[in-house]
Structure 1
Amino acid sequence: MTAQPKRMFDRREPRLVLQLRTGVGQAGRAFDAEIMNISTGGMLVRTSSDISQNDPIQVVLPQSGAVGARVVWSAEDFYGCSFDTPISEDELDSVRDAARFHSPFREAYGVDHETLGARIKRLRTASGFTMVELAQKVGVSKPTLWKWEGDQVRPRHETMGILAQQLGVGELELVYGAPRLGEEVASLEGDEEQGSLADIVRASRKRIAEAAGVDEVSVDIHINWGNE
């Protein structure tokens, strides 16, 4: 694909420079990608998969889930993209938090720092399905669903769409991270185990900022992952 030196957003606009693993979907396909930098207007994505400039794409962000965008230029594995609708400053904070707390030793985690299996289990529980009920609706056995939730095996591509539909999320978000509902985030104060790491960090930053009388952007939380 020939590089086209078009600007995906105003060069004067502040950008976050980072490396966040996520997923991109286009024309019914989902593939691994990394966000290299991002602003409210667009992003730079790196992926070894070919992305067409003719079809719209979706990229999974921590707060909003699948967000619409279009490729405006490309060069080798890099794609400059413009969002269909500018994202919020809160979403930029969410991306920053997700990137900051991503560890290279947690390859199976999506933008919400859950494994696929943990996400399936959480969404199943939130939907009120037993393992037997969901397995029947998807057309698999209970042991198969148990293996999915235990991250022993991944659902096949043709099954993933059915599973996502039953769980009430898009396939792209099921694979790469589903955003939390507002009430789930609010419940973190009462039970932090229900939230993802990114949710807990955001809620904690907000509470610290309110207690200290400063803006949230002035609060940084650091985790020492050790030498795992």
Structure 2
Amino acid sequence: MSLRAQLDTEPDKGERRSASRRKLRLEVEGVSASTSQTQVVIHDLSEEGLLVESPIDLVAGELLEVVIPEAGTAQAEVAWSSGRFFGCKFTQSVSTAAVSAALLRSPSENQKAPNAEVVEKALIELEALSFAIRRVTKAVDQAIDRLNQKKD
């Protein structure tokens, strides 16, 4: 099986994840309970999880198996989705060596994928959406707290 990848360091932006993410483009085999084997693209990888692009629709809670260099087949649970993009958390963390192995399989910057700009824009939009969701969640929590205080 051949693997092609592009990997960049993601700067720390007050990230709430427990592990540093690395941006990449790694084409691997993926399998879920609802589909047969298919080619997926990993765009973001850490020891704890990944952002995957799949031509197959996946749902939150669904388990996805992907082949990670040096880790072999890793199982991850879909946490969220946006179009063809799915945020997943590994059921068992992968090693730092596996993340590094993905780095070693990265093509040079001038071999960047043709749709890299589209993916970068999607990631920016997902970050903005994540911020908005946290803000709304905080407002809802505060409203619930105020309602609970009125009951007392």
SS across alignment from 1:99? coil
Within 2, Cα distance between the matches of 1:26 and 1:40?
20
Q: Which residue of the other structure, out of 45, 57, 63, is the alignment partner of 2:70?
A: 63
Is 1:47 aligned with 2:61? no
Alignment correspondent of 1:24: 30
Two-structure CA RMSD over aligned residues (Å):
2.5
Matches within 5 A, 1:137-176: none
In structure 2, give the amino acid aligned to 1:75: S
Structure 1's 12 and 62: CA in aligned 2 closer, same or farther, altered over 3 A? closer
Q: What is the CA deviation profile of residues 89-118 of structure 1, one whole-angstrom value per residue up to 9, with x for unaligned ones?
A: 1011011112237x68xxxxxxxxxxxxxx
Alignment correspondent of 1:97: 104
Within 2, Cα distance between the matches of 1:10 and 1:33?
25
Identity of aligned residues (%): 25
In structure 2, give the amino acid aligned to 1:37: D
SS across alignment from 2:106? helix
Q: Runs of 5+ in structure 2 lacking a partner?
A: 1-14, 113-152
In structure 1, give the amino acid aligned to 2:107: R
Higher relative contact order (CA 8 A, sep 6+): 2
Q: Quick check: 2:28–2:42 contact (8 Å CA) kept in 1?
A: yes
Structure 1's 13 and 54: CA in aligned 2 closer, same or farther, altered over 3 A? closer
Structure number with greater Rg is: 1
Range moving further from structure 2, 53-62 or 88-97: 53-62
Q: Which residue of the other structure, out of 82, 87, 93, is the alignment partner of 1:80?
A: 87
How many Å apart are 1:75 and its aligned residue?
0.4
Q: Quick check: 2:71–2:95 contact (8 Å CA) kept in 1?
A: no
Q: Runs of 5+ in structure 1 lacking a partner?
A: 1-8, 105-228
Runs ≥4 residues deviating over 6 A = none
Q: Quick check: 2:59–2:80 contact (8 Å CA) kept in 1?
A: no
Q: Which one has the bigger strand percentage? A: 2
